[in-house]
Amino acid sequence: MEPIVVAKNLSKSYTKGLRALDNVSLTVNQGKVLVVMGPSGSGKSTLIRTFNGLETFDRGELNILGIKIDSTHDERKIQKIRRRVGMVFQQFNLFPHLSILENITLAPVHVQKRRQAEAEEYGMYLLNQMGIDSHAKKYPSQLSGGEQQRVAIARALALKPELLLFDEPTSALDPERINEVLDAMRKLARQGMTMVVVTHEIGFAKDVSDQVLFMDSGKVIETSPPNIFFSNARHERSRKFLNQLD
Ligand code: ADP
Ligand code: MG
CA of 48 to the centre of ligand 2 (A): 9
Q: What is the pLDDT of residue 46?
A: 98
What digits encode the pLDDT tens for the residues 133-151?
A: 999 999 999 999 999 999 9
Indicate whether 215 pLDDT > 80.
yes
Band the pLDDT of 1: cuts 50, 70, 90. Answer: confident
Q: What is the pLDDT of residue 245?
A: 85
Asked whether the beta carbons of 182 and 204 are under 8 A apart, the reply is yes
Asked whether the beta carbons of 28 and 194 are under 8 A apart, the reply is yes
What digits encode the pLDDT tens for the residues 49-67?
A: 999 999 999 999 999 999 9
Q: Using CA atoms in the order 21, 23, 24, 26, what is the torsion angle rounded to 10 degrees? A: 170
CA of 18 to the centre of ligand 1 (A): 10
Q: From CA 78, how far away is CA 48, in angstroms rounded? A: 14
- How far the first Cα of the chain sits from its last, in Å, is 35
Indicate whether 246 pLDDT > 80.
no
Which residue pairs from 130-139 have beta carbons closer than 8 angstroms and sit at least 24 positions apart in sequence? Answer: 130/154, 130/184, 131/180, 131/184, 132/100, 135/100, 136/99, 136/100, 136/101, 137/99, 137/100, 137/101, 138/99, 138/100, 139/96, 139/97, 139/98, 139/99, 139/100
Asked whether the beta carbons of 188 and 75 are under 8 A apart, the reply is no
Indicate whether 159 pLDDT > 80.
yes
Indicate whether 228 pLDDT > 80.
yes
Q: What is the pLDDT of residue 66?
A: 97
> Nearest 5°: CA angle at 92, between 88 and 94?
110
Band the pLDDT of 16: cuts 50, 70, 90. Answer: confident
Asked whether the beta carbons of 95 and 139 are under 8 A apart, the reply is no
**Mean pLDDT taken over the chain:** 96
Does the beta carbon of 50 sit less than 6 angstroms from any atom of ligand 1? no
What digits encode the pLDDT tens for the residues 160-201?
A: 999 999 999 999 999 999 999 999 999 999 999 999 999 999
What digits encode the pLDDT tens for the residues 67-87?
A: 999 999 999 999 999 999 999
A 10 A CB-CB count for 51 gives: 22
Indicate whether 233 pLDDT > 90.
no
Supply the DSSP symbol for 236: H
Supply the DSSP symbol for 131: T
Give 184-207 as a 3 state SS string.
Answer: HHHHHHHCCCCEEEECCCHHHHHH
Whose atoms come closest to the Cα of 171: which ligand?
2
Mean pLDDT of 122-126: 98
CA of 121 to the centre of ligand 2 (A): 34
Whose atoms come closest to the Cα of 214: which ligand?
1
Does the beta carbon of 20 sit less than 6 angstroms from any atom of ligand 1? yes
Asked whether the beta carbons of 51 and 64 are under 8 A apart, the reply is yes
Query: Which of the listed residues 10, 16, 22, 45 should we mutate to test ligand 1's pocket, taking the one with most ligand atoms within 8 A of CB?
Result: 45
CA of 240 to the centre of ligand 2 (A): 19
Does the beta carbon of 44 sit less than 6 angstroms from any atom of ligand 1? yes
Mean pLDDT of 35-56: 97
